[in-house]
Amino acid sequence: MHLDSKIPGGPLPDKWDRHRFELKLVNPANKKKFEIIVVGTGLAGGSASASLAELGYNVKTFCIQDSPRRAHSIAAQGGINAAKNYTNEGDSIQRLFYDTIKGGDFRAREANVYRLAQISNHIIDQCVAQGVPFARDYGGLLANRSFGGAQVSRTFYARGQTGQQLLLGAYSALMRQVAAGMVKMFPRREMLDLVIINGKARGIVVRNLITGEIETHKGDAVVLSTGGYGNVFFLSTNAMGTNVSAAFRAYKKGALFANPCYTQIHPTCIPVHGKHQSKLTLMSESLRNDGRVWVPKNPGDKRLPHQIPESERDYYLENKYPSFGNLVPRDVASRNAKEQCDNGKGVGKTGLAVYLDFEDAIKRDGKDLIAKKYGNLFHMYDKITADNPYETPMMIYPAVHYTMGGLWVDYNLMSTIDGLFVMGEANFSDHGANRLGASALMQGLADGYFVIPYTIGGYLAGTTLEGVNESHSAFTESTQHVREGIEKLISINGKRTVDDFHKQLGLIMWDHCGMARNDQGLEKARRLIQELREEFWENVRVPGSNVEFNQSLERAGRVADFLEFSELMVMDALVRRESCGGHFNEAFQTSENEAKRDDENFSHVSAWDYKGKDADPVMRKEQLVFEHVELSQRSYK
């Protein structure tokens, strides 16, 4: 199989314009004849549903939550990037493009990233028009801040709730179309299969989470915007319901899954408190602007932080990276925290934490200024841990936060299955091996508002689609398959809960396929996953029945998919014989312990092709071509 990225010709800045011109248009009168299925209502799904409906398509939108306003995009705190250059610091589309592609450790497509930077400005305009209350300067103009180590202030924000406000903007546009009758909304539905007829995605099978009924829905195209797979680690900053199932079941139907091993681990999260913890909470990265990261110099030092004299503290980031200090990128900060804890210098009850200390900042700037900058974060920390960061150093530890990998898509966001489009975190396209802060919101909205409305038209106008209905054998087979899977889960009636398996899987992944990986650990993980999967299908206990509201059953299906998907992650990590961004193999590092890429041999996307239950998937490569940027080694010394 040849992976054709369908990148348009011509100079980089003109590609998107040219492509939009070359895409066929659907006659306005014909749009209402098409039915488009959108799964997921985060930034990408919500904005796409609204935009497609505005164009005149009939849209059917599905989400697992009780309302389309709850998708996990809502939890993004920091902000959204755009190349507006409102601050006159010399920002430009070119610079945003370059920063993003470099931040991704040169493992993303140039054309996609450039388009993202171009569209970024329109997103801000669109959101302002919708009534998103972005922060303003005294004069009433939009305010910007610098974020995630960027050298220009290009991040737009709405307090610490930017994701929420952008999502509510998209949600309101979506609800407007629901009221207009253009979008039919199906909440509390979980997609369990993709239906393919004559090689084209023509529908989905979903479970009605309230009644347990298996429903079938036909469409002329299917758009997945179902988020990332960070919950394969069980503990992550993702919402509890976040899962890989929709994407993974599409993969099993022939959509290639790209770069599953790229996982972003965020350095500043509240550490784990115990084995019953269900979720990790992110603390904004901005804390590292003033906080100093340290651990005791002597391993096993159990004294309280204020009892440890200055001379016995190791400010390891400042010592190791004199020029960037505490502000090194996320992956570097995370890996170093892990290294310190592995050396027995971790602090707190579990030994899996490092200090983030504001004592010097408070001495220097005064408590008031620090409170003004971080008051809400300190408050949040205090609420969760019952520790006061003004008096005692915060404890932080890295946690899984975002996944760069996802279903492979071409420039049109179409997967390897005709008519199946994938957007947002669910696709692999724009962040390469590492995502920069404030880029995820930008990508989700770019895909939904400004890419899919054109490219889906190009597909629909250029394809002949025969009429199908839900009584087609493909739907009945699919329904049957889904039903069997569910019945099997219920019938096992074993001795361990779904969460118990999920937690064990999470630990395996965290230990061996987390911040730092090595071949031995990955091989071991693969074995452990296989064993655990086997046990799951013999010993899981799913209470209740399949014809009722059954949250254990919902989770069981998702964990079953994670148990297969995790192995794919491990396999992907094993074949990428280099370190880059969110994938760090200890065997490939510079003398300074930094990720060492192998551009000659691994400047490609690894896309996995499912070959059935009993065979290993096959890896296909999409070679990445860099014509506009020069590949360089990241250095933060």
Partner 1 sequence: MTKTINLTLKVWRQKGPEHKGHLETYRADHISTDMSFLEMIDIVNDNLTLDGDDPIAFDHDCREGICGMCGTVVNGRAHGPEKETTLCQLHMRHFSDGDTIVIEPWRSRAFKIIKDLVVDRSALDKIIAAGGYISVNTGGAPDGNSILIPQDIAELAMDAAACIGCGACVASCPNASAMLFIGAKISQLALLPQGKPEAAGRALSMVREMDRLGFGNCTNEKECEAECPKEISITNIARMNREYFKAGYFFSKK
- Interaction between residue 2 and partner 1 (CB under 8 A): no
Closest CA to 16 of 406, 405, 407, 413: 413
CA distance 37 to 27: 20
Closer Cβ to partner 1, 152 or 195, answer by number: 152
CA distance 592 to 295: 20
Catalytic-role residue among 95, 109, 202, 330: 330
Query: From the list 15, 19, 31, 69, which residue makes contact with partner 1 (rule: CB under 8 A)?
Result: 69
CA distance 137 to 135: 7
In order, the DSSP letters of 69-96 are T-SGGGG--S-EE----TT-S---HHHH
Q: How far is CA 503 from the centre of its chain?
A: 20
Q: Which residue stretches of 239-285 are H helix?
A: 245-252
Closest CA to 49 of 411, 423, 415: 423
Minimum distance between the CB of residue 77 and partner 1, rounded to whole angstroms?
Answer: 9
C-alpha radius of gyration, the chain, whole number: 24
Closer Cβ to partner 1, 85 or 606, answer by number: 85
Under 8 Å between Cβ of 251 and 449: no
Residues 159-173: b if buried by 16+ CB within 10 A, e if exposed:
ebbbbbbbbbbbbeb
- Interaction between residue 365 and partner 1 (CB under 8 A): no
- Interaction between residue 144 and partner 1 (CB under 8 A): no
Minimum distance between the CB of residue 65 and partner 1, rounded to whole angstroms?
Answer: 6
How many of the chain's residues bind partner 1 (CB under 8 A)? 83
Query: From the list 38, 39, 44, 74, which residue makes contact with partner 1 (rule: CB under 8 A)?
Result: 74
- Interaction between residue 240 and partner 1 (CB under 8 A): yes
CA distance 336 to 40: 35
Site for partner 1 in 261-290 (CB under 8 A): 273-274, 276-279, 281-282
Closer Cβ to partner 1, 162 or 334, answer by number: 162
Residues 500-537: b if buried by 16+ CB within 10 A, e if exposed:
ebbbbbbbbbbebbbbbbeeebbeebbebbeeebeebe
Closer Cβ to partner 1, 290 or 554, answer by number: 554
Under 8 Å between Cβ of 438 and 155: yes
Site for partner 1 in 404-443 (CB under 8 A): none
Does residue 330 carry a catalytic annotation?
A: yes
Site for partner 1 in 516-575 (CB under 8 A): 541, 543-544, 548-549, 551-552
Query: From the list 178, 574, 619, 629, which residue makes contact with partner 1 (rule: CB under 8 A)?
Result: 178
- Interaction between residue 85 and partner 1 (CB under 8 A): no
Closer Cβ to partner 1, 231 or 259, answer by number: 231
Under 8 Å between Cβ of 31 and 57: yes
- Interaction between residue 138 and partner 1 (CB under 8 A): yes
- Interaction between residue 137 and partner 1 (CB under 8 A): yes
Query: From the list 20, 33, 122, 184, which residue makes contact with partner 1 (rule: CB under 8 A)?
Result: 122
Under 8 Å between Cβ of 290 and 268: no
Question: Given strand 604-609, what is the order of strands in its sheet?
Answer: 406-407, 257-258, 604-609, 618-623
Site for partner 1 in 385-404 (CB under 8 A): 385-386
Stretch that binds partner 1, among 60-68, 112-120, 200-208, 358-366 (CB under 8 A): 60-68
Closer Cβ to partner 1, 84 or 252, answer by number: 84
Minimum distance between the CB of residue 142 and partner 1, rounded to whole angstroms?
Answer: 5
- Give 451's DSSP letter: I
Minimum distance between the CB of residue 582 and partner 1, rounded to whole angstroms?
Answer: 22
Minimum distance between the CB of residue 66 and partner 1, rounded to whole angstroms?
Answer: 6
Closer Cβ to partner 1, 496 or 604, answer by number: 496
- Interaction between residue 241 and partner 1 (CB under 8 A): yes
- Interaction between residue 176 and partner 1 (CB under 8 A): yes
CA distance 75 to 398: 17
Site for partner 1 in 19-58 (CB under 8 A): 47, 50-51, 54
Closer Cβ to partner 1, 206 or 361, answer by number: 206
- Interaction between residue 362 and partner 1 (CB under 8 A): no
Pairing relation of β-strands 263-269 and 292-296? unpaired
Under 8 Å between Cβ of 38 and 66: no
Minimum distance between the CB of residue 455 and partner 1, rounded to whole angstroms?
Answer: 14
Closer Cβ to partner 1, 142 or 461, answer by number: 142
- Interaction between residue 629 and partner 1 (CB under 8 A): no
- Interaction between residue 450 and partner 1 (CB under 8 A): yes
- Interaction between residue 504 and partner 1 (CB under 8 A): no
Query: From the list 4, 14, 22, 66, which residue makes contact with partner 1 (rule: CB under 8 A)?
Result: 66
Minimum distance between the CB of residue 276 and partner 1, rounded to whole angstroms?
Answer: 5
- Residue 282 in tokens: 């992110």
Query: From the list 175, 451, 465, 490, which residue makes contact with partner 1 (rule: CB under 8 A)?
Result: 175
Minimum distance between the CB of residue 452 and partner 1, rounded to whole angstroms?
Answer: 11
CA distance 199 to 420: 10
CA distance 458 to 461: 5
Closer Cβ to partner 1, 74 or 570, answer by number: 74
What are all long-range contacts of 593-596, with beta carbons under 8 Å and residues at least 24 apart?
593/335, 593/339, 594/332, 594/633, 594/634, 594/635, 594/636, 595/105, 595/331, 595/634, 596/633
Active site residues: 330
